[in-house]
Structure formats: structure tokens, C-alpha cells
Amino acid sequence: MKRIGAILCLSFILAVMSAPMCFAAQGGLTIKDQYPKDGATGTSVENVSVKIWFDQDVRPETPEIRKANKAKVKLVDNKGKELPIYVAYNPKEKGQIMVLSSDQAQIKDDTKYTLTIDPGFQATSGDTLATQDKVAFTTLNRTQATTVNMIMMGVMMVGMIFFTSKSMKKQQEKERASKGKTETVNPYKEAKRTGKSVEEIVEKDKKNKEKQAAAAARRAEKEQEALEDLEEKKPTSNNKRVAGPRPISVAGGKYKAPKKPQAQKQNNGTRPKNQTGKQRNTKNKSKKNKK
């Protein structure tokens, strides 16, 4: 029994160890991702390219492998016509290739194209693609896209004009209301323009005027309240007024002001300062006459 159990355990261990090798042999080269995705629409017409990401390095080591791999890649249009292509390998990303049309003039608007990679596409390690891979995409209809963009721009412009005019009208109404003026409405013209009855327009105008009057009254009330608040918050003066100047001794002070020096007598010398010769002669003559 022990011998049989040992044989069974050994067989189980060998089977488990050989399983990864079997799976590895069946793995091969596989595709991880691609852009555009299969079924994509609206692909740009300019510089059409399809990117493919593999699970391992696919950069060819010889020109022969590069040529053989290119033969496995095909790009056809919706009529099955094969287009000339160029297969580029990304030097910075080992598992990526880029398929471009070498004749961009053949790429048309709103057309379905299909990229096919046949089995046998070889990786650097020698592994090959086991199954065929296809990705179909449709190019952009540039005429339709331009029309849609123009319509959207027109709608945006109309919306901007509408909202701008509405805003300006509201601003004008506020200015008139602040000045106590109301807009005069001709009910007959308005009825002809809008198709409403004259009574409806008159009633609407009456309500608008009442609203404007109420808004003006609220603004006036707020302004009055603001003025009252300012008056209450205005600082009061602590200065006291007196009837007139009073000496410091009244308050108990003992300070005495110094006496002012007496003015010097006028110099009556023979040559007073700032006198001309004629003035001196006239003065001397008057003195002699007195004598």
C-alpha cells in the first residue's frame, strides 16, 4: 500500500510540473490592445494610422522578418480594395506597431476600412500569431461635421444675442425705476406684435408698473435706513465751548508771562539808517529854523 501511494504522489507531482510547460507551448504571440477600436466611427481622415499592442517584443531582427511581417498585414476599403501601407515599429515601446497608409489620397470621408493581421506574424522571440485579427473603423464625414459645427455656432450666437439684449433691457428697466420713470407701453402696437388682446397687455403693464413702484419704494426705504444708520454711527464731539478767553490763574495756575522788552528809541544821529541825502538835508534845515 505504501508503494502504491508513493507512486500516485509522484505521478501527481509530475503532472502538476508539466502543466505550465504545456500552456507555455500553446501560448505564442497575442494582441493586447488596438486603436482605433473595432467598430469605431468618426476616425480622423488626416494621417490615418492603426496602433497595435502585442504582449511581447515584435521588433524584427532581420530585414527578411520585417518583410514577412509586412506581408501579413493588409488594409482594405469597403469595396475590398487593398491600400498601400507602411508598418512602423516603435523603438521606445517594444510591443507596439503602427500601420499607416502610404497613399493618404486614397483615404476617403465616411468610408469603412478594415485592417487584418494574418496568422504567422512573428515576434522577436520567434513566437507567431496563432489566429487572425481584424479591426474595422469608419472615417469622419467632414462635410457633415462642418455643417453641425456651423449650426452649433449659429445657435450659440443667437443665444448670446438674446441673453445680451435681455440683460440690457433689465438694466434699462432698473435705471428707469431708480429714477422714478416707467416705460410707456402702447397696448395696440403690442397687441399687433404679439397677437394678444389689448386687455391682457394693459393688465400686464399695470402689474409691471406696480412691481416697479414697489421695488422703488423698497429701495428708497433701504436708502433711508442706511442714512439713519450712518447718522447713528457718526462720532459725537467731546469739545466744550466757552464764552471767551480766560487767564490761566482762574484755573489755579501761577505762570507769569515774561515782560516784553521796550522798543529802542529811534536813532536821531546824523546818518539815520535807510535815509536818502535829500531827506537828511530837509531834516537838518527844519532843525536850524527852530533854533
Bigger pLDDT: 240 vs 148:
148
Q: How far apart are CA 124 and CA 58, in angstroms?
A: 5
Residue 156 pLDDT exceeds 60? yes
Residue 268 pLDDT exceeds 60? no
In which band, very low, low, confident or very high, does the pLDDT at 82 lie, cut at 50, 70 and 90? Answer: very high
Least confident piece of the model among 71-75, 88-92, 131-135, 210-214: 210-214
Mean pLDDT of the chain: 78
> pLDDT tens digits, residue range 24-34?
444 589 999 99
Residue 210 pLDDT exceeds 80? yes
Residue 118 pLDDT exceeds 90? yes
Q: Which of 35-49, 116-130, 151-165, 197-211 has the highest mean pLDDT?
A: 116-130
DSSP the chain: -HHHHHHHHHHHHHHHHHHHHHHHHHH-B-EEEEESPTTEEEE-STT-EEEEEESS----SSHHHHHHHHHTEEEE-TT--EE-EEEEE-SSSTTEEEEEES-GGG--TT-EEEEEE-TTPBPTTS-BB-S-EEEEEEE--HHHHHHHHHHHHHHHHHHHHHHHHHHHHHHHHHHHHHTT------HHHHHHHH---HHHHHHHHHHHHHHHHHHHHHHHHHHHHHHHHHHHHSPPP-----SS---GGGGT----PPPPPPPPPPP-SSS-TT--HHHHHHHHHHHHHH-
> pLDDT tens digits, residue range 134-144?
999 999 888 87
In which band, very low, low, confident or very high, does the pLDDT at 270 lie, cut at 50, 70 and 90? Answer: low
Q: What is the mean pLDDT of residues 10-20?
A: 57
Q: How far apart are CA 139 and CA 44, in angstroms?
A: 6
Residue 22 pLDDT exceeds 50? no
In which band, very low, low, confident or very high, does the pLDDT at 179 lie, cut at 50, 70 and 90? Answer: low
Residue 284 pLDDT exceeds 80? no
Is 110 exposed, middle or buried (CB count within 10 Å of its CB: 0-12, 13-18, 19+)?
A: middle
In which band, very low, low, confident or very high, does the pLDDT at 162 lie, cut at 50, 70 and 90? Answer: confident
